Amino acid sequence: MSEQIAPRGSSGEGTKPVRPDVDRKARLKIPAHRPDKQDPVRRIENWDEVYHLFDASNAMIEAERCIQCPAAPCQKACPVHNDIPGAFWLLEQGDFNGAANIFRETSELPEMCGRLCPQERLCEGHCVVGKNALPVAIGKLETFTTEWQHAHGGAQHPPPAPPSGRTVAVIGSGPAGIGVAERLARRGHAVTIYEAWPEPGGVLRYGIPDFKLNKPSIERKFAELEALGVQVRCSTRVGEDLSWEDLRASADAVFVGIGASQGARLGIPGEDGEGVISATEFLVRSNLPPEELPEEHREPLGAPQRVVVIGGGDTSMDCVRSARRLGADEVTLVYRRTEAEMQGRVEERTHAVEEGVRFEYLASPLEVLRDGACVTGLRCIRMELGEPDDTGRRRPQPVEGSEFDLPADIVVTAIGYDVDSEWGEAAPEMTRDRWNRLVVDPETMQTNLAGVFAGGDDVNGADLVVTALADAHRAAEAIDHYLKTLLSETPRPGPLVGDSSFL
């Protein structure tokens, strides 16, 4: 079906095979193709994904726009170094399976990353074609190939290694935990995932709404993990339902992938009480059936008509767009800087505008207004931008006397996430920084405790699916090495004790 290409390394640094038959000038003239998307008026009436999948012939044409540059800056910019040109070389020739297999070599979650990565600042942001035209639609082609493969027989992997006799406990079933569990299970280690929520998936399930990522792709991933022998114990919060000491005693190595789920607070009058709700709670209560939620989140949200969301990242976009799908007529986003300083994806903002969300830039909340217990609005103040702060973004400052009120039935806070401070009580001997992030050796992702590794948002702070996966790859490599070398010298130990010395 397609020309065989030399296998490529996954480091992102390997030498690319030169394809002499590629006429780059001709390829640059191929018009860009994009998959269709749902009309905004229709899509706020459902929770289906905004984009349809590419159709096969358009996907092949779009893949042919890749000029196969030997330096492959797209691959270098990808945190997991997907061999994008290699995959597209197969895709343009109709070998969709081969293309999907290339993505799967370096990513456990290509279906998710294709949909969720901020491609404009990663692979597509570095696409050479994008210098003078639309970049190659890398993310949407990644989604197309891997979804096509699922629809035609499923993911293909080499058989796993024989059982090693070693055990690994993974805490958290988000992208970091998934990445570690899959890589280590494929190397023959017995992996058990412990997850606090009733269903696995981390933020993929309990956060990101269906219109960005459909839930069957998460179900499929866990079915694959279970087929590999990975055990998943949900509704098990380590530190509460299972002690840290018992968990460590149960396994030869531990990976901590607990994410960063503690929503930051506004710190303004009126914040406490009914009607002010964190982004995660708002998203899970609007997106998921009650039986998949913990008791405290099962009450339906009702049908708020006026929703104000505070924040400027992807989470805030998920909230405003969910609010429109819940039927809210007036949905307003309040952000204290301008659009230029917003950190979320442009595509998400465009979708929100198309869906009728109003943006109040340069505005900061002062007080949640209430009539008795009921929220009636949010008092805000206008801001102006001053000198840059330590992040390089211009610091917002209030404009005296510019207060104004926005009517609201619900105020949603989406102003950032920190690592759960309770983890410090569960595992007090683990070194953390002043933001509660776990401190690791960046090469091996090992914590200060022997045999205990960590990665994802609990190390980086709130970040991305693909960066959690990249951490998982480094950690899995180091855990495998730890199990094979350190433990081959001794019989299976009891509880792991003692601190390692890198810190």
Ligand X SMILES: Cc1cc2nc3c(=O)[nH]c(=O)nc-3n(C[C@H](O)[C@H](O)[C@H](O)COP(=O)(O)OP(=O)(O)OC[C@H]3O[C@@H](n4cnc5c(N)ncnc54)[C@H](O)[C@@H]3O)c2cc1C
* Binding residues vs ligand X (CB under 6 A): 116-117, 171-177, 194-197, 202-203, 207-208, 212, 237-239, 257-259, 261, 279, 283, 314-315, 318, 420, 456-457, 463-466, 468
Nearer to ligand X by Cβ, of 164 and 447: the residue is 447
Rounded distance between C-alpha atoms, residue 319 and residue 331, angstroms: 10
Nearer to ligand X by Cβ, of 68 and 286: the residue is 286
Tell me which residue has tokens 């406990």: 169
Rounded distance between C-alpha atoms, residue 472 and residue 177, angstroms: 7
Using an 8 Å Cβ cutoff, are 35 and 54 in contact? yes
Q: How far is the CB of 186 from ligand X (least distance, A)?
A: 18
Rounded distance between C-alpha atoms, residue 71 and residue 10, angstroms: 14
Nearer to ligand X by Cβ, of 127 and 469: the residue is 469
Q: How far is the CB of 12 from ligand X (least distance, A)?
A: 19
Q: How far is the CB of 122 from ligand X (least distance, A)?
A: 9
Q: How far is the CB of 15 from ligand X (least distance, A)?
A: 30
Nearer to ligand X by Cβ, of 196 and 381: the residue is 196
Bridge partners (DSSP) of residue 413 are 278, 310
Using an 8 Å Cβ cutoff, are 212 and 183 in contact? no
Rounded distance between C-alpha atoms, residue 461 and residue 413, angstroms: 18
Listed in order, strand segments (DSSP E) in 74-175 are 167-171
Nearer to ligand X by Cβ, of 135 and 174: the residue is 174
Q: How far is the CB of 46 from ligand X (least distance, A)?
A: 19
CB atoms closer than 10 angstroms to residue 488: 10
Nearer to ligand X by Cβ, of 369 and 454: the residue is 454
Nearer to ligand X by Cβ, of 196 and 410: the residue is 196
* Nearest partner of 102 among 81, 121, 117, 122, judged by Cα: 81
Q: How far is the CB of 51 from ligand X (least distance, A)?
A: 13
Using an 8 Å Cβ cutoff, are 474 and 175 in contact? no
* Nearest partner of 211 among 265, 163, 283, 279, judged by Cα: 283
* Nearest partner of 198 among 247, 236, 164, 149, judged by Cα: 236
CB atoms closer than 10 angstroms to residue 281: 17
Residue 366's φ and ψ, nearest 5 degrees, are -115, -40
Nearer to ligand X by Cβ, of 95 and 111: the residue is 111
Nearer to ligand X by Cβ, of 14 and 294: the residue is 294
Q: How far is the CB of 2 from ligand X (least distance, A)?
A: 30
Nearer to ligand X by Cβ, of 277 and 366: the residue is 277
Bridge partners (DSSP) of residue 277 are 412
Q: Which helix (H) or strand (E) holds 365?
A: strand 363-371
What are the tokens at 46?
Answer: 């459902």
Q: How far is the CB of 372 from ligand X (least distance, A)?
A: 31
Using an 8 Å Cβ cutoff, are 213 and 116 in contact? yes
Q: How far is the CB of 179 from ligand X (least distance, A)?
A: 8
The number of CA neighbours under 13 Å toward the Cβ of 227 is 12
Q: How far is the CB of 355 from ligand X (least distance, A)?
A: 16
